[in-house]
Amino acid sequence: MNRYRTEYINILLKKQKRMRKDIKDLLGISNNSILKEIIDGRDIHISRLIKIADFFGVSCAEFFEFNGHVVGDDTPMPSSDALTQHLVRQIVDSEMAARKAVRESDEQLRKMEVESLQRLHQQQLEYEREMSRLREELVRTKAQLELLRNNNSIKQTQSAPYSLVAEAPKLQAAEDHNT
C-alpha cells in the first residue's frame, strides 16, 4: 500500500534544525491551520510538495511510502516488490533529472543576464565618453565664438574712428551750409 508520510516534514524539520515558520515563509502562508493541513497531508498540492522537497534538499518521492518501503531509507525493498522498486527509482531519477535541467536552465539564464548587464554597462560607458567629448567640444566652440565676438568688437571699435575721420569734412560742410 502506498501512503503519504505525514510525519516526514516534522522529521526533516528536527533533523535539519529548521522551524515551521521557515515552511510558512517558503510557501507564503501566515495561517497555522493551513500549515497543519499541509503537514498532515490534507492539503498537499504537488507544487507545494516540490517547494518543500527543494527546501529540504530531498526527493518528492521521500514523502511517500511504497508497500512499506520508504524511498529515503537505505533499506532495500523486498524482492517481491521489484516492480514497485523499479517504478520508485524511475520517479526519483526523473525528478532528479528535471531538477538538474531546471538548475542548468537557471544557470544559463543567469549567465545571459550577466552578459546583458555587461553589454549595457559598456554601452553606458561609451555614451558617457561621447557625452563628455561633446561637452568639451561645446566648451571649445563657445570659447571660439567668444573670441570671434571680441575680435569683431575690436575691429568695429578700430574702424569707427577712421570712418568718422573720413566723414568729418562732409559733416563740417553740411554744418556750415546749415548755418
Instruction: Note the helical H segments in 2-81.
Output: 8-15, 20-27, 32-39, 46-56
Buried b (16+ CB within 10 A) or exposed e, 86-105: eebeebbeeeeeeeeeeeee
Whether the CB-CB separation of 65 and 3 falls below 8 Å is answered with yes
69-70 vs 2-4, strand pairing mode:
unpaired
pLDDT digits (tens, 9 = 90+) for 10-32: 888 899 999 888 888 888 888 88
Scanning the structure block, which residue is given the C-alpha cell 574712428? Answer: 161
**All domains of the chain, ordered by start, with CATH?**
2-73 (1.10.260.40)
At residue 130 the predicted structure's pLDDT band, cuts being 50, 70 and 90, is: very high
d(CA 16, CA 20): 12
What number is the average pLDDT over the span 154-158? 65
% of the chain at pLDDT higher than 70: 70
d(CA 145, CA 143): 5
pLDDT digits (tens, 9 = 90+) for 82-106: 656 666 677 777 878 888 888 899 8
What number is the average pLDDT over the span 47-68? 79
At residue 53 the predicted structure's pLDDT band, cuts being 50, 70 and 90, is: confident
Does the pTM exceed 0.85? Answer: no
